Chain A
Amino acid sequence: MTGQTHDAAGAAIRKREERKDFRSYAWGAGLALLLTLLPFALVHWPAVPHLALLAGIGVLALAQMIVHFRFFLHIGFEKNRDDLLLILFSALLLIIMVAGTIWIMASLALRMAMQ
């Protein structure tokens, strides 16, 4: 008898947890869709200056990446999240290598064009 009530309570908790997990994916899909439609619309119907448009595309892309990490991959700020540290470290490596490469090559192109 007590075992049965225990099972029922466990099932209710699981049901609640499942709804929570489902909401995570639903929110993720909704927000990602919004963050996809926005930049495509901005490019399809150009209304803002070129540089502002590029900056907007970048910001929206970054926002959508964070949405994917949070809602699809469930990365958060809980304790002992080595995965988050690894993302941040990889992002640091990427910034150093990618920005460095682009900087050097752009500088090279500029100097070659000047001669």
Chain B
Amino acid sequence: MSGETIKHPGLNLGCAHGKDHDAADRMLFGFWVFLMSDAILFGMVFASYVTSVNATAGGPGPRDLYDLRGVFIETLLLLASSFTFGMASLALKYEHGKTRLVGWLAVTLALGLGFIGFEVHDLLSMIGNGGAPGRSGFLSAFFDLIPLHGLHVAAGCIWLICLVGQIAVYGQDAKVKLGILRLALFWHFLDIVWIAIFSIVYLAGLA
């Protein structure tokens, strides 16, 4: 029924999942509180970046170092991974079986790893072009913000691998379901942080 009440952020399992759906309510709200505190953390790192964006100390600035193409590819990879995680959530909710769930999770993982790969390549080429973190206040702030997000994505990838292992061992039991729902929130949240990164850091830096 479309009238079914939504209890928590992210895709709701719904009544068909009985007790698991009830347990999701508090668990996911608690995780949501953590995500919002993480958002505050990111916000403060953004603030330190914006205040030191002009502190290049005679070194290279955003225009000399940023590569719009790499960022564009990373953005598309992360957006696609958000969509494929949505498909995994649907496979979980509508019980399409283990293969489809793990399949979509695997595609999401591949896109996440692709994102990390492109990002590491971009950062290394920046360092190669004289943009090492120790060069200026601007670069220190940059290397505080971007790898912080990258580490979050890497943590999400590790978590995803653990979840696939749990699915293989325990099947789709209550704990595994709640784990997938929480990782979905985490993953979508990181994509929202990335919107702020590509807009404030890269696009505004190259505009």
> Do chains A and B stick together as partners?
yes
What B residues does A14 contact at CB under 8 A? Answer: 16, 94
The DSSP consensus for interface residues of chain B is: helix
What B residues does A102 contact at CB under 8 A? Answer: 47, 50-51
A72 contacts B82, CB within 8 Å?
A: yes
A50 contacts B207, CB within 8 Å?
A: yes
Q: Is residue B100 within 8 Å, beta carbon to beta carbon, of the partner chain? A: no
- A80-115 vs B, CB cutoff 8 Å, 1 = contact: the mask equals 011100110110011001100110011001000000
B17: min CB distance to chain A, Å:
12
- A45-75 vs B, CB cutoff 8 Å, 1 = contact: the mask equals 0100010011001101100110011001111
Q: Is residue B8 within 8 Å, beta carbon to beta carbon, of the partner chain? A: yes
- CB under 8 Å from chain B, chain A span 1-60: 13-14, 16-18, 20-22, 24-25, 28-29, 32-33, 36, 39-40, 43-44, 46, 50, 53-54, 57-58, 60
- B1-40 vs A, CB cutoff 8 Å, 1 = contact: the mask equals 1101110111110101000000000000100110011011
Q: Is residue B142 within 8 Å, beta carbon to beta carbon, of the partner chain? A: no
A25 to B10, CA, bound (A): 11
Q: Is residue B148 within 8 Å, beta carbon to beta carbon, of the partner chain? A: no
The one of A16, A29, A39, A74 that contacts B203, using a Cβ cutoff of 8 Å = A39
Q: Is residue B75 within 8 Å, beta carbon to beta carbon, of the partner chain? A: yes
- B66-86 vs A, CB cutoff 8 Å, 1 = contact: the mask equals 001000100110011011001
Q: Is residue B168 within 8 Å, beta carbon to beta carbon, of the partner chain? A: no
- CB under 8 Å from chain A, chain B span 38-95: 39-40, 43-44, 46-48, 50-51, 54, 68, 72, 75-76, 79-80, 82-83, 86-87, 90, 93-94
A35 to B63, CA, bound (A): 23
What B residues does A24 contact at CB under 8 A? Answer: 86
A83 to B82, CA, bound (A): 20
What A residues does B33 contact at CB under 8 A? Answer: 86
Q: Is residue B106 within 8 Å, beta carbon to beta carbon, of the partner chain? A: no
Q: Is residue B122 within 8 Å, beta carbon to beta carbon, of the partner chain? A: no
A64 contacts B195, CB within 8 Å?
A: yes
What A residues does B110 contact at CB under 8 A? Answer: none
Chain A minimum-CB-distance residue to B193: A65
Q: Is residue B123 within 8 Å, beta carbon to beta carbon, of the partner chain? A: no
What A residues does B1 contact at CB under 8 A? Answer: 13, 17
B43 contacts A97, CB within 8 Å?
A: yes
B185 contacts A73, CB within 8 Å?
A: yes
What residues make up the interface of B, taking CB atoms closer than 8 Å to A?
A: 1-2, 4-6, 8-12, 14, 16, 29, 32-33, 36-37, 39-40, 43-44, 46-48, 50-51, 54, 68, 72, 75-76, 79-80, 82-83, 86-87, 90, 93-94, 185, 188-189, 191-192, 195-196, 198-200, 203-204, 206-207
Closest 8 CB pairs between A and B? A61-B199, A25-B86, A105-B51, A101-B47, A90-B36, A94-B43, A29-B83, A72-B188
